[in-house]
Structure 1
């Protein structure tokens, strides 16, 4: 394992030298990529130093015990040996997971799309609840959330909500939320007190950088309209809302959240690039369908991934069979424990697929 870590250290030193070179700094694409690599490698290099110290402590303690001599020194060496022997297997497990090849998409920002599914008004209300859950979670992570477009439900919530999230490792975290979320509860509109089942679909896309996707603006028809829905001065009177029609794919992207037409166009283009980027990713993933099926973070968008049962205060994630009786806190944004379990499940699968790490 130390040999693998030494190779990582060698690459870390190379990257460390490269990111201060003027020709690299002037190449924005390469500079950003190397900075991301530097951050990822530094975590491993720091862990390598910690691991190496433990191995050195173990060897030093062994030598003192073998030599014998001063009883107090031998006793201290025995304690040092036991501490190192106990800590080494734990750090080796951490290193195994850190050595799993990183998905380059994981470090990206994300575009999240929520859509009400079956269940009429109640599905829209539930989509609104999910939006609140995600915004609370993102706030707790220090991430920035910006609305791109929305379509309100007739009784509250949203028929559709699109927002972008900016921060560190956003897509790598939120990708586990993609799929169908199902709610079982008595709707506000129900007079008989019967439990209804409704659903909302969550789509999580890695936000594409300009250099990730070659977007030919000749293929894009831009439509400018007035914004719809509630708003203050100028919202419904100026042609600030943007609708993009991507002719080759038939994709349509709207953005009306900003008062500025330019800002709405910028946001809509981000979403369009991200959707086109996802199409390319889907093609790559399809080439290895068996591997794709094994990953908890990917799979069919129509797959039911989680159920929120209000009468029992229960949330169940069906991919890993995890059930938590903590619905109130989860709906208030406390979803980290679920994501941690999903990450662990995916890393375990990846570790099996990369047996040379073990």
Structure 2
């Protein structure tokens, strides 16, 4: 079965190489970008597959020499080396053959909303935003805040940001869900621990070709950008509010006031609108199969509690993990060191996918 799949991928690899040499493809940036990315994915698989074939031949030759007394010792060593490396290659190929999320390479839209806890929830939202900014910097990504509703205490009731860079969605997709904090708020005078929540949504950025927006269904309003407490930070009407099917149950409202350019803010607002519509379409398509099959760790539902930040115990607990693997040092996580946590979640997802593929006989 593995050989059949790799033979199929080898044919695809040759087709991709052929297309990359086509002048028509070179003149199409979107097509070229897609093929280049796929070529990179397949190149690693093909390198391992060729090494696997060479080692398989070497292993067969070594077995044939085992019967020769003069060559037995050398053949035995060669056979051990070949079979050991073959095992490692097969393990890596199994991982590389797991279907990847087609959105992993995309930019991401990050939304934080303060939930239960009042002002403390808003302060926690600000803490999470700083954590994500540090994490993005460590991952070679960039976060730009597009819109934020700031509170008098320096927190946020809502923040919308764009995460840009190759693999942005892959790096952030496990953050979606409800994040809970347990700590003594700065406003607490009696030292009591409070529990507050922030809901995090992470959407892959949708391209124009993925979601078609009907201009008749979108209302664009412009207004003057505002800072904290209503203080004007701009003297022109550059902020943009995009409303999809306003006044209907399907209504989606997006606000962007990141730049002083109304044109750029309009473009970013429509990008977010497309991302939300694409997510709505994905949720509708997946609704029938979610109960029987999970394609990601947990349901990915925004109401699902995914993580608790316990300041008294100086730890972060991710509820999608098990045993000792679910706890991480709070100080490191809040400082943006999310990689160990994300990698643990990726391993759980990978193991689940391998099991599903085995059950399906893939």
Pair 1:156–1:234, CA change in 2 (3 A) = closer
TM-aligned CA deviation for residue 63 of structure 1: 3.1
* Aligned CA-pair RMSD: 2.2
**Aligned to 2:326, what secondary structure does the other structure show?**
strand
For structure 2, the 5+ residue unaligned runs are none
Say which is worse superposed, 136-145 or 205-214, in terms of deviation. Answer: 136-145
Q: How far apart, CA to CA, are the structure 2 residues paired with 1:168 and 1:76?
A: 47
Match of 1:78 in 2: 76
What CA distance in whole angstroms lies between the structure 2 residues aligned with 1:51 and 1:13? 18
Secondary structure of the residue that 1:289 maps to in structure 2? coil
Residue in structure 1 matched with residue 97 of structure 2 by the alignment: 99
| Structure 2 Cα separation of the partners of residues 53 and 334 of structure 1 | 41
Report how many residues are paired: 354
The 5-angstrom pairing of residues 138-149 of structure 1 reads: 138-149=136-147
Aligned match of 2:171: 173
Give the Cα separation in 1 of the matches to 2:293 and 2:195.
Answer: 29
Q: Which residue of 1 aligns with 2:85?
A: 87
Question: In the alignment, is the contact (CA less than 8 A) between 1:110 and 1:166 conserved in 2?
Answer: yes
The residue that corresponds to 1:43 in the other structure is 44
Determine helix, strand or coil for the equivalent of 1:102.
coil
The 1:357–1:77 alpha-carbon spacing in structure 2 relative to 1, beyond 3 Å, is farther
Following superposition, the deviation at residue 88 of structure 1 comes to: 2.5
Match of residue 335 from structure 1: 338
- In the alignment, is the contact (CA less than 8 A) between 1:181 and 1:304 conserved in 2? yes
Are the equivalent residues in 2 in contact too, given 1:9–1:45 (CA < 8 A)? yes
* Maintained 8 Å contact 2:328/2:341: no
Structure 1 unaligned spans of 5+? none
Which residue of 1 is the match for residue 24 of structure 2? 23
Partner residue, 1:215: 213
**TM-score under structure 2 normalisation?**
0.91
* Aligned counterpart, 1:346: 349
Q: Where does residue 61 of structure 1 map in the other structure?
A: 62
Q: 1:105/1:117 Cα in 2 relative to 1: closer, same or farther (>3 Å)?
A: same
Q: Equivalents in 1 of 2:121, 2:66: separation in Å?
A: 68
- Quote how far apart the aligned CAs of 1:320 are: 2.1
TM-score, structure 1 as length reference: 0.92
Moved more, 85-94 or 247-256: 85-94
